[in-house]
Structures are given as C-alpha cells and as structure tokens.
Amino acid sequence: MKNHTHDASGNGLNRAKPYQLVLFPLNNGATNVYFVLILSYVAQFGSSILHLGIFASLMVTIMRVCDAITDPIIGAMMDRTSTRIGKFRPFMILGSVVMALSVIALYILLPLIPDTMMPARYVGFTVVYFIWVIGYTFQTSVTRAGQTVLTNDPNQRPMFTIFNTVGSLLGMGIMQFLIPLVKAMYDVKDAAGNVITSGYADPMVYRIITPIGIAISVLLTILAIIGIAEKDRPEFYGLGGKQENVKLSEYAQIIKANKPMQRLMVAGAGCKLALAIATNTTVLLALYGIVMGNYNSLYLPMMVLGYVCAVPFFLLSMRTSQKKGQRASLIRYVSVALICYVGVLVLLIVSDYGNPSLMLSFPFEGGGAINLYTILFILFFGVGYGAYYATADMPIPMVADCSDYETYRSGKYIPGIMGTMFSLVDKLVSSLAQTLVAFIFLACAGLSELPTDSTPYSAGIKVAVIVMFCIIPMLAWAATLLAMKGYTLTGAKMKEIQAVNAARKTAIEQGMSLEEAMERYQTMDQVPEQLRN
C-alpha cells in the first residue's frame, strides 16, 4: 500500500489538505447545534413546558455524572474500533442518529404526555436525556480524537481552531440567531407591548426549532465525514504498524503520567465554564430582558457584536500559536478577556434600573439611542468577549498535542480515551453550569423556577446576573491561566515530539520493532536531519 503519511517534502509531517482542514471541524459545529438546542434550552423547556421545576436543571448535572462511566468506555471502544469505514466515522454516524431521535422524543413527544401523568414525564425526561448524552459523547469525542489523523503539523493545528470556530458558528450561531426569533413570534404581550407570557412557554417553539436543528446538524456531519474520510485509515494511526490494544486497567496510569493532559483538562474546564455560564440562555435573558429591560432590542446586536469582535482575535491567536505555540496564545488572549471583563463588571455594578443613562440602549426592535454607558459596554464587552471567544475552543486542538505526547512518551496511540477524558470534563462543566444558574437565581433572587423576560426586576436578579455573567467566568479564566503556567507542550517541544514520532514511524516501516524505535529516537539530536521540522 502506498504510504500517504509523509508530505511531499519528506520531512515526516502528516499535513491535511485545505478542504480537510475546512470540513472536518464542522463535526464540532454539528454537535454544537445540540449544545444550544439541548444544553441551553432543556432546563427552560423542562420548567416551562413539562413543569418539572428545578428537577430538569438537576438532571442535567446528574446525567453528566453518569458520563464518568460512559465516557472512558466509549473512548476505549473507539481506540479498539477498526472497520471498513475507519475508526472515527462510525461514531460520527451513530452519534448523529442517536441525538436526532432523542431530541425528537424530548421536545416533540414528551409534551404529549398529559400533566395528569407527571411521573411518566419525569421518567421519560430522564431516559431520553440519558440516551441523548450517549449520542453526544459518540460524536463530540471524534472532534478531539480525529485531529490526530488529520494533521500533526504544528503550523496547521492552530488553523484548526479557526475552522473549528467557523463550524461552531454555523451550528451554534445559526441556532442562537433563529431560536430567539421563533420565540418572539410566540410571545404573548399586553396592549403596551410588554411580554406577559414568554414564547419559551409555548410547545410550538420547540416543535419548530427541533427539525431545523436536526437538519443543520446532519448536514454539517456529512461534510465532516467527507473531510476525514481520506485520513481515517490505519496508516495514519499513531506510529503505524499493528496497533496494540490498551487494557482498561492501564488507562488510569496513562492519564496519571500524562501531566500536560491533566493541566489541559483544568484549562479546558475553565474555558468551557466561562462559555457555558456567560452564554447561557437564561442568564442572557435576565441580563438583557430584566436588568436592562429590552431583550428583543439588545440580545441579537450584542451577540453579533461578540462574533464580529472575535474575528481579529482569531487571526491574532493563530499567528501567535504558529510562532510561539498554542499555550502562549491561550495565555495571552485569556488574559486580555480577564482584564476587559473587569470593566464589564464595574459597568454592571453601577447600572441603575429605571435610569436610562445607566442602562444599555440600542436602536433595534424598539430600543432607544445609544448612550455613553452602552458605548463603554460595547468597548469592554466586545474586546473581552472577542478575545475569550477566539480561545474558547483552543483546548480542543491541544488535545491532539497531548495525544501525540502520549505516543511520544509511551508509544501508545489512544486518541479515543484522550478525547473522551477531555469530553468528560467538558460535559461535567456544561451541566454544572446549568445547575449553577438555577441555584444562583434561587439563592440571590429567591426564584424557584428560572426567570423569563416577563419576570419583574429585582436587586437579587441583578446580583445573580453579575455573578454569572462576570464573576464566575473571570474565576474560570484565572484557573485556566494557572493551569497553563505549568503546561510543558510549548511550540518548540511539539516540534521535537513530531520529529521524534516521525523518526520512530519511519524506522518501524523499515522493519524496526516499536521497542527498538522508542529506544533509538528520544530527542531531536537523534532524529535524521530530513525529519527535523
């Protein structure tokens, strides 16, 4: 069989074609459709439609704890999988199908259970949500694990962050844009135009957004499968040759020995918690609809502002990553976000409900003229959110670095378990975010159910918004910076790792055993000149 592993220059790097770099990250966009559709709205749906109260928020966290068992099992399954269509594509297909069917059952079928059968609603919600979590794990783990076969070029991997974010925007951004518009169509208003019943309390909203979300996710999944198809072959798995199955009992020791992965899990948790809290639907609804008084006028302009401000930071972070490594880029731009959010925090503290000069105002959907307060908010929030959003998904390609480091350290190719361990943290933090939202509103504002834009303003709601929109993300970013301080996979170190792995792979292809190759090539000075990056 022809060896497609090395690029034309013969320096041992596995480089992706442009279309592969563009298409495969759409897998993250496909799963982020459900990140918005489920994780951002399921608690609101459970409270407003199924009338489950805080149970829905609690169940999100409880189900993610179950992933402590399912994630490593699925990761081990992926590492052991070898089919006619590769290692990763079966999990993409199965995950997409499971999520589509479960979201139909959740948002369309469960509301058909009459409210006289509440136990059936509780059981149905729990079972369907658990099935959805399994499907989500199948597909999200491929985004992280599949990068190891896509490219190991230190100059290409930072580009994955940009295309990954573009894919996320196609999924997450479209849903964040469309769902509020659909919700607004079903708002019940009084004669003065004030919302008296939120559209999120109408089952029709969920019946409309469900097929839209499924269609977008399936399309993005198909494109992602095309992107990885050529690379999802044994010759791109680790050091090549026969892949040794890793025993389940060995995984704990592997993770314990992989210090960079441990630190990345903490950093990834910080980034994900900041994203999940600051972009939570209920938090944004409380900020723009209750504290600032006009959700329909403010939400879309501020969402678009954040995305627009992220564009220059994507380019800057990519350049920084290519020159100094992804660690340096993550530290630099998370620091920018942390500094800017100090300004956002101050502005929210001094905001004054009922005083237009100390509230956000934007001339959209009935909003007023822009004032100085809004200009300052746009400045601090735009730069801070842009810097943070550009790095929010950066830990994902860094998982591939940690997987390559494990191959360099032990000779084992286990992208499945590496990806699912990171995915486990991702999902635990996401679920914790929803539970935190519910408990913070309960603790600060005394609300037993999540607020809607028809909930009256109170000082407690303002405190809850400040805590969730600013303080928690800032603490999460501080944890990210602390974790990255001791992260050893710098740009220079990754170049050495790729060169050593390439030398070992070439030696194995020429008949050397894995053990001999691991012993012969350990540092850059032992690598043949033509394989040094």
**Which string of DSSP letters, residue by residue, matches 147-209?**
HHHH---TTTHHHHHHHHHHHHIIIIIHHHHHHHHHHHHT-EE-TTS-EEE-GGG-HHHHHHH
Terminal Cα-to-Cα distance of the chain (whole angstroms): 25
Fold designation for 248-489: Growth Hormone; Chain: A; (1.20.1250)
Q: What is the pLDDT of residue 533?
A: 60
Alpha carbons 189 and 177: distance in angstroms, whole number: 21
Q: Tell how strand 188-189 and strand 195-197 pair up.
A: antiparallel
Does residue 384 contact residue 340 with C-beta atoms inside 8 Å?
A: yes
Does residue 66 contact residue 175 with C-beta atoms inside 8 Å?
A: no
- Annotated domain spans of the chain: 18-231, 248-489, 493-522
Reported as a pLDDT band with limits 50, 70 and 90, residue 459 is very high
3-state SS assignment for residue 86: strand
Q: What is the pLDDT of residue 509?
A: 84
Is the pLDDT assigned to residue 119 strictly greater than 80?
A: yes
| Short-list 179, 61, 50, 44, CA closest to 451 | 44
Is the pLDDT assigned to residue 33 strictly greater than 80?
A: yes
Alpha carbons 111 and 114: distance in angstroms, whole number: 7
| Short-list 70, 445, 403, CA closest to 286 | 445
Alpha carbons 167 and 227: distance in angstroms, whole number: 12
Alpha carbons 74 and 35: distance in angstroms, whole number: 19
Reported as a pLDDT band with limits 50, 70 and 90, residue 172 is confident
Q: Which residue has the higher pLDDT, 340 or 394?
A: 340
Q: Is 249 exposed, middle or buried (0-12, 13-18, 19+ CB in 10 A)?
A: exposed
Contacts of 311 (CB under 8 A, 6+ apart): 386
Contacts of 97 (CB under 8 A, 6+ apart): 135
Is the pLDDT assigned to residue 385 strictly greater than 80?
A: yes
Is the pLDDT assigned to residue 381 strictly greater than 90?
A: yes
Is the pLDDT assigned to residue 430 strictly greater than 80?
A: no
Query: Once rounded to an integer, what is the mean pLDDT over residues 415-440?
Result: 77
β-bridge mates for residue 195, sequence order: 189
Does residue 154 contact residue 533 with C-beta atoms inside 8 Å?
A: yes
Q: Which residue has the higher pLDDT, 335 or 410?
A: 335
Alpha carbons 140 and 162: distance in angstroms, whole number: 17
Q: What is the pLDDT of residue 185?
A: 86
| Short-list 330, 448, 324, CA closest to 55 | 448
Q: Token pair of 425, please?
A: 């943290």
Q: Which residue has the higher pLDDT, 150 or 434?
A: 150
| Residue 68 CA neighbour count, 13 Å, CB half | 8
Is the pLDDT assigned to residue 110 strictly greater than 80?
A: yes
| Short-list 237, 226, 218, CA closest to 19 | 226
Q: Token pair of 508, please?
A: 């194995």
Q: What is the pLDDT of residue 348?
A: 96
The per-residue pLDDT for range 5-15, each reduced to its tens digit, is: 444 344 567 88
Alpha carbons 98 and 162: distance in angstroms, whole number: 28
pLDDT, mean over the chain: 85
Is the pLDDT assigned to residue 163 strictly greater than 80?
A: yes
Alpha carbons 393 and 405: distance in angstroms, whole number: 20
Is the pLDDT assigned to residue 2 strictly greater than 70?
A: no
Alpha carbons 275 and 329: distance in angstroms, whole number: 18
Reported as a pLDDT band with limits 50, 70 and 90, residue 246 is low
Q: Which of 34-48, 354-368, 376-390, 404-418 has the highest mean pLDDT?
A: 376-390
CA distances from 264 to 136, 357, 421 (A): 21, 43, 11
Is the pLDDT assigned to residue 80 strictly greater than 90?
A: no
Q: Is 166 exposed, middle or buried (0-12, 13-18, 19+ CB in 10 A)?
A: middle
Q: Which of 54-68, 114-128, 244-258, 266-280 has the highest mean pLDDT?
A: 114-128
Provide the total of helices (H) and of strands (E) in the chain, helices listed first: 22, 2
Alpha carbons 373 and 369: distance in angstroms, whole number: 11
Q: What is the pLDDT of residue 241?
A: 54
CA distances from 233 to 9, 83, 88, 236, 469 (A): 21, 9, 9, 6, 44
Which of the four CATH numbers 3.80.10.10, 3.40.640.10, 3.40.50.460, 1.20.1250.20 does domain 18-231 have? 1.20.1250.20
Query: Once rounded to an integer, what is the mean pLDDT over residues 65-75?
Result: 75
The per-residue pLDDT for range 204-243, each reduced to its tens digit, is: 989 999 999 999 999 999 999 999 999 998 888 877 655 5
Asked, colleague to colleague, whether 18-231 and 248-489 share their fold, the answer is yes
Q: What is the DSSP letter of 8?
A: T
Is the pLDDT assigned to residue 71 strictly greater than 80?
A: no
Alpha carbons 307 and 169: distance in angstroms, whole number: 9
Q: Token pair of 339, please?
A: 């500094």
Q: Which of 78-82, 173-177, 330-334, 434-438 has the highest mean pLDDT?
A: 330-334
Element (H, E) at 487: none
Q: Token pair of 375, please?
A: 């200009």
Q: What amino acid occupies position 342?
A: V
Q: What is the pLDDT of residue 1?
A: 38
Reported as a pLDDT band with limits 50, 70 and 90, residue 41 is confident
Q: What angle do CA 424, 275, 220 make, to 5 degrees?
A: 70
Main-chain dihedrals φ then ψ at residue 245, nearest 5 degrees:
-70, 135
Alpha carbons 367 and 316: distance in angstroms, whole number: 34
3-state SS assignment for residue 19: helix
Q: Is 463 exposed, middle or buried (0-12, 13-18, 19+ CB in 10 A)?
A: middle
